Amino acid sequence: MRAAVIHAPRDIRVEDRDQPSLISQRDAVVKVAAACVCGSDLWPYRGVTETKHARPIGHEMIGEVTAVGSEVTGLAVGDFVISPFTMNDGTCQACRNGMTTGCEHLSGFGGKDAYGDPVGGAQAQYVRVPDASATLVVVPGPVDPALYPSLLTLSDVFSTGHHAAVSAAVGPGKTVVVVGDGAVGLCAVLAAKRLGAARIIAMSRHADRQALAREFGATDIVETRGDEGVQAVRDLLGGDLADCAVEAVGTEESMDQALHVVRAGGNLGFVGVPHGVPTIGMRYLFDTNITVGGGMAPARTYIPELLPDVLSGAIDPGRVFDLELPLDEAAEAYAAMDERRAIKVLLRP
Amino acid sequence: MRAAVIHAPRDIRVEDRDQPSLISQRDAVVKVAAACVCGSDLWPYRGVTETKHARPIGHEMIGEVTAVGSEVTGLAVGDFVISPFTMNDGTCQACRNGMTTGCEHLSGFGGKDAYGDPVGGAQAQYVRVPDASATLVVVPGPVDPALYPSLLTLSDVFSTGHHAAVSAAVGPGKTVVVVGDGAVGLCAVLAAKRLGAARIIAMSRHADRQALAREFGATDIVETRGDEGVQAVRDLLGGDLADCAVEAVGTEESMDQALHVVRAGGNLGFVGVPHGVPTIGMRYLFDTNITVGGGMAPARTYIPELLPDVLSGAIDPGRVFDLELPLDEAAEAYAAMDERRAIKVLLRP
């Protein structure tokens, strides 16, 4: 089968690899119908994180189950599934509380699973999924291929945007600022709209992203940053700060920006993977009573909740894909996102 | 009138001062029925914070209104009132959202108010209260003096313990760890009990505080700290971590302890005033999805909610006072708390 492999920064190759098969009886194998490139895939691509040896890459996918182990329940060969970007056991304290990304047996794509066995990347024709019963979510069939892009976003990007909005306590009537206009930030705009926010202010300097933000429900755009950005938010809100802010970048600057647009007693939801070792000063939180929540989205928990709205067409998060390429052109997909020629690229195996 | 004045570290004197009168027409003057010493009063007492010049001290009090300005509404001379430990205007965005300690015109006792006028300390026979309409809460009379201690805790310590529990998302059936066995931590135990927590683990090494913690609803006591403390919590919870933790100290160590006893996706509520410049690592929050909230308690918002339970005797937070002294012995009150001979001292003017 064909699979994307990262060898070094800016060196993505699509190669022939052995087709995966079951290792544990709790596994499934999925024939990938669509995968994509994540903003976090750009870290090793850009050399921000080290690539010590060549490894398969990609962690978002939908597809059809082609094999299931004897201990797998609730899944059958032929089922169309969405995979969250991590696998979880479904039984530990974190899983019992729905925080599946805190699982004691958390596994990721493109490395080794929690049990020590190799797992391929999701940018591939097939991939083995450990702990399949607890991880994969079946989409009731038949599945319209036109829905693939939006279904694929539930794997990570829209579930993560939703987590940002939930962590920011977005709800009916709330005012929200979204810091970060990448695919996750844009999905957070859509999630905030879905959750009933009254005002959604997207901080963005890019015309194409501003346009999609507005399509997703942004009521206002702020292009300035820092104190000027805070003042722009106040100007839009009649002198007030926002009830909620979403941080979808992961830098100390963006966290700082997000903290300073929130009112006393408001909420900040963050899903940007922290770069370096950013910290939050306790004193600012103490003085403002801003509550900070977020982290790696428990996509597995959110997929069943969000799926009906995708299937009904109520939301169309697949609009974040502004480029679609065959899997064999994965290198170009990375380059397009790296150079900001594309917001997010869908790959067809 | 008599009032406690701090001159320098370990130098508290009760002196004759001018009786306060109205300055603004939004003021009230209160004849103090009971005041007390706060853990945070020990900071200047111990020299942790600087005392540049002598100033009146104390910020918790209940008493009788003796004068009201012409613009004051909802208050009359003779009313028995509880004062939150800060004053607020009632109209800004923070106040409209109930986060009164984030008020744009926040005033404190023992300094200058938000309008530049001097405010006395609450450890005094009389004190002027700016923004009285929005600040003071009337207790329906006649008020039984036996309730003074518990009513006085609503001014700060029990409202702060309640804020810690609310910020930690304590609710029915939850498991809670309280880090800090000072008066605030003990009040957080009582607040957690009141909010329906199923298990309340108090981290305490002092027999007298452990006893009061149990009386307030602690189901378990943990004496160890650090990794050992975390393991002790796991042992009590069948291998699990707690749903919620309360941090009621304010040091980096106690924040760290509290963070590490909470499960993935759980909540940490903090009310310990941050000492120095403690920070929280974003990466740990990201990896665990622990939500962090808290800060200076909006006591003004909580008093009306908590008051009925004090008046009915459903809760008796006044039990935190294990020493009562006349105001003139304020110096001894500070010494007793400093030397841990008392948990919290009530002062009778």
Long-range contacts of B141-145 (CB under 8 A, 24+ apart): B141/B79, B141/B80, B143/B80, B145/B33
Q: What is the pLDDT of residue A277?
A: 59
- Would you state the structure tokens that stand for residue A11, as one six-digit string? 């060196």
Q: How far apart are CA B267 and CA A277, in angstroms?
A: 22
Q: Using the beta-carbon criterion (under 8 Å), do B295 and A286 form an inter-chain contact? A: yes
Classify residue A148 as left (phi > 0), alpha (psi -120 to 50) or beta: alpha
Distance from the Cα of residue B321 to its chain's centroid: 13
Nearest chain A residue to B273, by CA:
A286
Nearest in space to A132 (alpha carbons), one of A78, A69, A61, A85: A69
Q: Which domains does chain A have, with CATH numbers?
A: 2-156+298-348 (3.90.180.10), 160-294 (3.40.50.720)
Q: What is the pLDDT of residue A280?
A: 79
Q: Identify the contact set of chain A against chain B, taking CB-CB distances under 8 A.
A: 93-94, 97-99, 101-103, 167, 239-241, 243, 255, 263-266, 270, 273-274, 277-283, 285-296, 298
Q: Using the beta-carbon criterion (under 8 Å), do A279 and B281 form an inter-chain contact? A: yes
Nearest in space to A202 (alpha carbons), one of A212, A271, A194: A212
Q: Using the beta-carbon criterion (under 8 Å), do A263 and B97 form an inter-chain contact? A: yes
Q: How far apart are CA A264 and CA A261, in angstroms?
A: 10
The residues facing A198 across adjacent strands are none
Local structure of residue A309 (DSSP, 8 states): H
Q: What is the pLDDT of residue B277?
A: 60
List of residues 6+ apart from B179 with CB closer than 8 A: B185, B203, B245, B246, B247, B248, B249, B254, B257, B258, B261
User: Contacts of residue B293 in chain A, CB cutoff 8 Å?
Assistant: 285, 289-293
- Identify the burial level of B345 via C-beta atoms within 10 angstroms of its C-beta, where 0-12 means exposed, 13-18 middle and 19 or more buried: buried
Distance, first Cα to last Cα, chain A: 10
- Would you state the structure tokens that stand for residue B328, as one six-digit string? 């003139």
Closest residue to A102, CB basis, from B97, B167, B288: B288
Does B317 sit behind a cis peptide bond, omega within 30 degrees of 0 on the bond before it?
no
Q: Using the beta-carbon criterion (under 8 Å), do A286 and B270 form an inter-chain contact? A: yes
Q: How far apart are CA B60 and CA A98, in angstroms?
A: 42
What pLDDT tens digit does each residue of chain B (349 aa) get? 999 999 999 999 999 999 999 999 999 999 999 999 999 999 999 999 999 999 999 999 999 999 999 999 999 999 999 999 999 999 999 999 999 999 999 999 999 999 999 999 999 999 999 999 999 999 998 999 999 999 999 999 999 999 999 999 999 999 999 999 999 999 999 999 999 999 999 999 999 999 999 999 999 999 999 999 999 999 999 999 999 999 999 888 899 999 999 999 999 999 988 776 667 788 899 999 999 999 999 999 999 999 999 999 999 999 999 999 999 999 999 999 999 999 999 999 9
Q: Using the beta-carbon criterion (under 8 Å), do A264 and B296 form an inter-chain contact? A: no
Asked whether A68 and A76 are in contact (CB, 8 A), the reply is yes
Ranges under pLDDT 50 in chain A: none
Asked whether A143 and A151 are in contact (CB, 8 A), the reply is yes
Q: What is the pLDDT of residue A168?
A: 98
Q: Using the beta-carbon criterion (under 8 Å), do A296 and B289 form an inter-chain contact? A: yes
